[in-house]
Structure 1
Amino acid sequence: MRFAKETITAKFIDRPNRFKAFVELDGETVEAHVPNTGRNREILIPGCTVVLRKEDSPARKTKYSLIAGYKGDKLINIDSQIPNHVVEEALYLGLIDELRGYGSVMREKTFGKSRFDFLLEDPERKFYLEVKGVTLEADGVASFPDAPTERGAKHVRELMDALAEGHGAGILFLIQIEDVHMFTPAYSLDPEFSEVLKEAMDKGVKVMAYRCRVTESSLEVIGSIPVLI
């Protein structure tokens, strides 16, 4: 999908907390919002080039959001608000091979006390889908998460509950990086999430990983990569 708002580049200076960064733009130090609670330490290194999205809401404290950064020559999108939009577009376009053919795609649907990102539905079947954006990469291997996530493990357990009730269930890791060839959970950073994901896969929860073409003004699904668990 192409971003609706204008983007520009700047030089990263510092990230004093999860939601705030300082960048150098046109020779001045400017504050920007970071729409990602992950660490992103291997991306947001002082001096690196980052991509800012211009914001036009008068209610905002900052005029920019920091949505991507260059790790060497790799551009990595870190906007945690964008993956669901990208996946929704891909579902409608039939770009997710494992999930083609459903007549209805709905956002934010509940199952019991759980809320999943998507419900794909036909008269005789339902498929609950959770989406996780991936920004962590090393030597062409993408991983998730980049910090411990109890919430992520909870979502995977809830997918197993939906599967046990006879519904389809899956988790799609949207890799916000183009140049990767494999996905694996980050065992060393979050062993609990990784083990729960392995258990879910063994029980029949679909675990999918799709990489994206990343530019400074767009993010689009371009194909699946192998999942190693």
Structure 2
Amino acid sequence: MRFQTPLVPGHLIRRYNRFLSDVRLENGDVIKAHCPNPGSMMGLKDEGLKVWLEPNDDPKKKLKYGWRLVEFENGHWSGIDTSVPNRVVKEALLARQITELSDYHTVRPEVRYGENSRIDFLLTQAGLPDVYVEVKNVHLLRQDDWAEFPDSVTTRGAKHLAELTNMVSEGHRAVMLYLVQRTDCARFKLAPDLDPGYALAFDKARAAGVQMLCYDTRIDVTSVRLGRTLPIDTAQQVNAD
């Protein structure tokens, strides 16, 4: 997934009101940028962080900049736009770059299923069971090279796991794909201290046959692309009692 216009650098002053941020550009101007991330953004919203913004000249948009990336002092990157993972995964599915799903040629996004939900991608192929693929954005890192999910309570995420479990019970294949929008992670685990309910739903879904996948991304100022598979910590996350 390539950015539509060249990104410009700045330094974060603050992120506030969920979807807004103030950034100081290199020429000293302070501008307001759209923050396409309603989550907690733990570790990604500290004052002074170097950030990269995508400018636009769309007359329909009130804000002329969109925050896209964080560049850390150690040379690593993180994407902050929560819409990017689905775009990256769609490109990868169509190019058959995700090994575990490469046998499927038909990719349909945003298909209704479950209880008033939409699956991110429904994959079909003659002679194979349908695959329901849900994608989650991951950009939390608190220790060593561990990517973690979620970074706050997500009842919606737990609901998605339950609906994937139902698809398995109906004879379909179901996949939860975690896409790590960071370049400094080498493995993945859940964060049950931040959301024990989601961790319990993860354990139940995995035990029922939902396939858990994790990929990282290759990030620079021009694009975000699918990277390598990351190992998932499969230890039981919480005590069901």
Under a length normalisation based on structure 1, what TM-score does the superposition of the two structures give? 0.96
Amino acid at match of 2:103: G
Q: Contact between 1:117 and 1:130, CA under 8 Å: does it hold in 2?
A: yes
Looking at secondary structure, tell me which structure has more strand per residue: 1
Deviations 1:51-79 (A, max 9, x none): 10112211111100111112332210011
Q: Does 1:35 align with 2:39?
A: no
Structure 1 residue 6: Cα displacement = 2.0
In the other structure, the counterpart of 1:153 is 158
Q: Contact between 1:212 and 1:219, CA under 8 Å: does it hold in 2?
A: yes
Counterpart CA distance in 2 for 1:111 and 1:35 is 26
Amino acid at match of 1:158: E
In the other structure, the counterpart of 1:108 is 110
In the other structure, the counterpart of 1:170 is 175
Amino acid at match of 1:10: G
Counterpart CA distance in 1 for 2:191 and 2:56 is 33
Deviations 1:142-163 (A, max 9, x none): 0111111111111111100111
Structure 1 residue 35: Cα displacement = 0.2
Counterpart CA distance in 1 for 2:120 and 2:100 is 17
In the other structure, the counterpart of 1:5 is 5
Counterpart CA distance in 1 for 2:11 and 2:66 is 13
Cα 1:57/1:131, change in 2 over 3 Å: same
SS in 1 for 2:41: coil
SS in 2 for 1:189: coil
Counterpart CA distance in 2 for 1:189 and 1:71 is 24
Deviations 1:85-123 (A, max 9, x none): 100111122221111111211100122433100000013
What is the correspondence of 1:1-229 to structure 2 with a 5 Å cutoff?
Answer: 1-25=1-25, 26-73=27-74, 74-113=76-115, 114-124=117-127, 125-138=129-142, 139-229=144-234
Counterpart CA distance in 1 for 2:60 and 2:96 is 37
Q: Structure 2: where are the runs of 5+ without partners?
A: 235-241
Structure 1 residue 223: Cα displacement = 1.0
Structure 1 residue 19: Cα displacement = 0.3
Amino acid at match of 1:187: P
Under a length normalisation based on structure 2, what TM-score does the superposition of the two structures give? 0.92
Identity percentage of aligned residues: 37
Deviations 1:18-67 (A, max 9, x none): 10000001211110000001111312211110010112211111100111
Structure 1 residue 137: Cα displacement = 1.3
Structure 1 residue 179: Cα displacement = 2.3
Counterpart CA distance in 2 for 1:84 and 1:45 is 26
Structure 1 residue 202: Cα displacement = 1.3
Q: Contact between 1:43 and 1:70, CA under 8 Å: does it hold in 2?
A: no
SS in 2 for 1:187: coil
How many residue pairs match? The answer is 229
Structure 1 residue 212: Cα displacement = 0.5
